[in-house]
Amino acid sequence: MANVYLIGAGPGDPGLLTIKGREILERADVVIYDYLANKVFLDFCRDDAQIIYVGKKGGDHTLPQDKINELIVQKAREGHVVARLKGGDPYVFGRGAEEGEELLDAGIDFEVVPGVTSAVAGPAYAGIPLTHRKYASSVSFITGHEDPTKGESAHNWESLAKGTSTLVFFMGVKNLPHITANLIQAGMDPDTPAALVRWGTTCRHFSMVSTVGNIAEDAVKQGIKPPSLLVVGHVVCLRDRLNFFEKRPLLGKGVVVTRARKQASGLVARLGELGACCYEFPTIRIKPLDDYGQVQEALAGLDTYDWILFTSVNGVVHFWDQLRQTGRDARALGGRKIAAIGPATARELEARGVFPDFVPEKYVAESVVQGLLKRGIQGKNVLVPRAKKAREVLPEGLRNAGCRVDVLPVYETVLAEDGQQEVLDGLASGDIHCLTFTSSSTVENFFALVEPDVVKSFVDKGLAIAVIGPVTAKTLATYGLAARIQPEEYTVPALAQAVAEVLGNHHA
């Protein structure tokens, strides 16, 4: 087994990291990483792993290459398993081979874990295959980072210009006029199709098509900047037909997700599938109670309740933790009727072998009470495991209907005070287009960290606010703001879809 792994992180889409790459990140003691198009890869690392950023972004190097080499060697000699995480593929313009040689010279074993190179993935997401039986049977990968003032080019421009290969230039935007002029001077037809792909495979992905003769001028008009790839060849003609990624309705739209981090994954994943750039701003943090004495007393007396009503996934998780810690399992719920407020809560119960007797069609207190009354809950003993601080509408509604209700706090929510600067910067730059709120507590905690007047100023400039349902909308209104987006069904998938319908880039 190697001590050091040179891992390719791919071009940015987290789904393109290899399984082997993820497995190594999950067990590495030290992770040394360059600038990454997507930092979600770092979430795979162990909580106790040492994570070291060494820069290497477009000439801005936090640590020079020789110092990076020394650092990798040092950490390996200390006996650590070291993951060296690099964008794209380590051996495709990634200087991975240099790091490998340095390790061998130091007597340290290493392995390479190839990554998906942006040269393949970026054009593919833009609808440009690098080879096609009709247009090109070979591909050339070329650095575009050559100094145009140096005496002699390392490239054989005549071979590149007169061959039938698809040409892919890395880091070519800065020298675009120099590259295209050399190709034309060496004999390439100025009308040869050419494309630029910027931030390929990420939520900021953008592509444009032109010709070798015009693309330098067109790039200036469109404001194209690094990081971008230049693709030259007749395969570019297929872009409009094969382009799938740019049809995603929320591509390039910045959306803030305010759920607690563990609960945010579903909304983040769905918005990501729709193309959005998600800013995770977990305004609440879920934490266990300091004292579970009351919970354990309730668990000892479960047979005194007729119904147990779960109002959230967190309620199920923390209730079950205590159930197991007291030596019980799902059998302790035998003979009780079980209600779940929402499909996600129902799924959490089903995963534990408990299938709810009631899941309301609408997830507001009034509808829940009506549905339970139809199922004979009137006059029954009801246990409601939930957050320490929560709305009293549902318990009061049940009490008014003649039920005896015990509210049982099994966890609490506290203010999470990090991430607001990234959101404020994103609002100021115009990169954020929507705020999403999935509960009243996310609204309240958001505005404990961000002044309502600040948000109002951006709403006046077009910022949209999306809420999961009428209760959350009512809480938002207390801060002088109105929701522009609210789904008919009060679920996370419906919320994401509603955002896409209102803010989406719609394609014919």
The DSSP string of 28-68 is -SEEEE---S-GGGGGGS-TT-EEEE---BTTB-SS-HHHH
**For 253, what's the count of Cα atoms within 13 Å in the CB-facing half-sphere?**
31
Residue 197: in which H helix or E strand, if any? strand 193-198
Could you give the 3-state DSSP secondary structure of residue 374? helix
Domain co-membership, 233 together with 299: no
Residue 275 has pLDDT above 70, yes or no: yes
Mean pLDDT of 175-186: 96
What angle separates helix 215-222 from helix 176-185, to the nearest 10 degrees? 160
Under the banding of pLDDT at 50, 70 and 90, the label for residue 262 is low
- Closest Cα to residue 398, out of 423, 375, 377? 377
CATH number at residue 444: 3.40.50.10090
Q: What distance in Å separates the CA atoms of residue 278 and residue 72, rounded to the nearest whole number? A: 32
Residue 1 has pLDDT above 80, yes or no: no
Look at residues 87, 116, 145 and tell me which one is the last residue of a structural domain: 116
Q: What is the tally of structural domains in the chain?
A: 4
The answer to whether position 101 is within a domain reads yes
Per-residue model confidence (pLDDT) at position 282? 83
Per-residue model confidence (pLDDT) at position 63? 85
**What is the value of pTM for the model shown?**
0.80
Mean pLDDT of 186-207: 97
Domain containing 409 equals 288-413
Mean pLDDT of 10-22: 95
Per-residue model confidence (pLDDT) at position 507? 47
Kind of pairing between the strands at 284-287 and 404-415:
antiparallel
Which residues are the active-site residues?
34, 56, 171
Residue 502: in which H helix or E strand, if any? helix 492-503
Domain co-membership, 268 together with 324: no
Mean pLDDT of 362-368: 75
Residue 440: in which H helix or E strand, if any? helix 440-449
Domain co-membership, 355 together with 312: yes
| Percent of the chain with pLDDT strictly greater than 70 | 96
Look at residues 391, 413, 435 and tell me which one is the last residue of a structural domain: 413
Per-residue model confidence (pLDDT) at position 191? 98
Domain co-membership, 384 together with 348: yes
Look at residues 398, 413, 428 and tell me which one is the last residue of a structural domain: 413
Per-residue model confidence (pLDDT) at position 80? 96
Mean pLDDT of 236-262: 92
Sheet holding 166-170, edge to edge: 139-143, 166-170, 228-232, 193-198, 206-211
Report residue 184 as tokens.
Answer: 């034309």
Report residue 147 as tokens.
Answer: 């100094």
Per-residue model confidence (pLDDT) at position 415? 80
Domain co-membership, 238 together with 127: yes
Place of tokens 């004292």: 291
Per-residue model confidence (pLDDT) at position 61? 56
The answer to whether position 508 is within a domain reads no
Domain co-membership, 11 together with 104: yes
Per-residue model confidence (pLDDT) at position 391? 79
Q: What distance in Å separates the CA atoms of residue 501 and residue 237, rounded to the nearest whole number? A: 30
Under the banding of pLDDT at 50, 70 and 90, the label for residue 64 is confident
- How does DSSP classify residue 89? -
Mean pLDDT over the full length of the chain: 92
Domain co-membership, 149 together with 262: no
* Higher pLDDT among residues 232 and 1, named by residue: 232
The answer to whether position 322 is within a domain reads yes
Which residues is 77 bridged to in the sheet?
none
Residue 508 has pLDDT above 50, yes or no: no
Per-residue model confidence (pLDDT) at position 171? 87
**For 57, what's the count of Cα atoms within 13 Å in the CB-facing half-sphere?**
10
Domain co-membership, 107 together with 133: no
| Percent of the chain with pLDDT strictly greater than 90 | 80
Identity (one letter) of the amino acid at 399? Answer: R
CATH number at residue 59: 3.40.1010.10
Report residue 260 as tokens.
Answer: 């607690």
The answer to whether position 24 is within a domain reads yes
Domain co-membership, 459 together with 483: yes
CATH number at residue 136: 3.30.950.10
Under the banding of pLDDT at 50, 70 and 90, the label for residue 240 is very high
Q: What distance in Å separates the CA atoms of residue 86 and residue 9, rounded to the nearest whole number? A: 6
Under the banding of pLDDT at 50, 70 and 90, the label for residue 38 is confident
Residue 189 has pLDDT above 80, yes or no: yes
Mean pLDDT of 263-285: 88
Residue 399 has pLDDT above 70, yes or no: yes
Domain co-membership, 107 together with 211: no
Mean pLDDT of 119-134: 97
Domain co-membership, 427 together with 488: yes
Under the banding of pLDDT at 50, 70 and 90, the label for residue 149 is low
Domain co-membership, 408 together with 420: no
Residue 147 has pLDDT above 70, yes or no: no
